[in-house]
A and B are shown apart, each in its own frame.
Chain A
Amino acid sequence: MILLAVAAIGLVLLPCLNAFVPASSFWHVSNFSINIYGKYLCYAVLALSVNLLWGYTGLLSLGQALFFTLGGYALGMHLMLMIGKLGQYKADIPDFMVFLEFPKRFPETGGLPPHWIPFKHFWFAIAAVVWVPALVAFIFGILAFRSRIKGVYFSILSQAVTYAACLMFFRNDFTFGGNNGLTDFKFLLGADVNSATTKRWLYVASGLLLLGVYLLCRWLTSTKFGLVQRAIRDSENRVLFSGYATANFKLFVFVLAAVIASLGGALYVPQVGIINPSEMAPDKSLEAVVWCAVGGRGTLIGPILGAITVNALKSYATRAFAEQWLYILGLLFILVVVFVPNGLVGIPGQLSRLRKKFTTRAQPAPAPTLAPTARLEPAAKE
Chain B
Amino acid sequence: MKHFILTMEGVNKSFEGFKAIDDLNFYMDEGELRVIIGPNGAGKSTMLDLITGRTRPDSGKIEFGRDTDLTRLNEYRINRLGIGRKFQTPSVYVEHTVFENMWLSLEGTRSVWSTLAARISSSQRERLFEVLKIVGLAERPDQKAGVLSHGQKQWLEIGMLLAQNPRLLLVDEPAAGMTDEETARTGELLVSLAGRHSVIVIEHDMVFVRQIARRVTVLHQGHVLCEGNVDEVQNDERVIEVYLGRKKKAEAA
Q: Which among B103-111, B126-134, B228-236 touches the partner chain?
A: B103-111
A230 with B116, Cβ < 8 A, contacts A240-B76, A241-B79, A242-B160 known: no
Complex CA gap A117/B34 in Å reads 69
A245 touches B104 (CB 8 A): no
Residues in chain A near residue B103, CB distance under 8 A: 224, 227
Residues in chain B near residue A234, CB distance under 8 A: 93-96
Q: Which of A203-235 contact B (CB under 8 A)?
A: 220, 223-225, 227-228, 230-231, 234-235
A230 with B93, Cβ < 8 A, contacts A243-B76, A243-B80 known: yes
Nearest CB in chain B: distance from A26 CB, A? 47
A242 with B92, Cβ < 8 A, contacts A224-B115, A225-B112, A228-B115 known: no
A224 with B93, Cβ < 8 A, contacts A242-B104, A243-B164 known: no
In the complex, the number of residue pairs spanning A and B with C-beta atoms less than 8 Å apart equals 75
B4 within 8 A of A: no
Complex CA gap A336/B112 in Å reads 35
Complex CA gap A248/B110 in Å reads 11
A224 with B87, Cβ < 8 A, contacts A241-B75, A245-B76, A245-B110 known: no
Nearest CB in chain B: distance from A254 CB, A? 12
Complex CA gap A240/B96 in Å reads 17
A243 with B93, Cβ < 8 A, contacts A223-B118, A227-B103, A228-B104 known: no
Complex CA gap A239/B91 in Å reads 10
Residues in chain A near residue B115, CB distance under 8 A: 223-225, 227-228
Nearest CB in chain A: distance from B26 CB, A? 20
B100 within 8 A of A: yes
Nearest CB in chain A: distance from B113 CB, A? 9
A249 with B93, Cβ < 8 A, contacts A240-B75, A241-B75, A243-B164 known: no
B167 within 8 A of A: no
B85 within 8 A of A: yes
Residues in chain B near residue A238, CB distance under 8 A: 87, 91-93, 160
A350 within 8 A of B: no
Residues in chain B near residue A237, CB distance under 8 A: 87, 91
* Residue of B84, B93, B111 most packed against chain A (CB within 10 A): B93
B71 within 8 A of A: no
A231 with B112, Cβ < 8 A, contacts A241-B85, A243-B80, A243-B164 known: no
Complex CA gap A285/B52 in Å reads 38
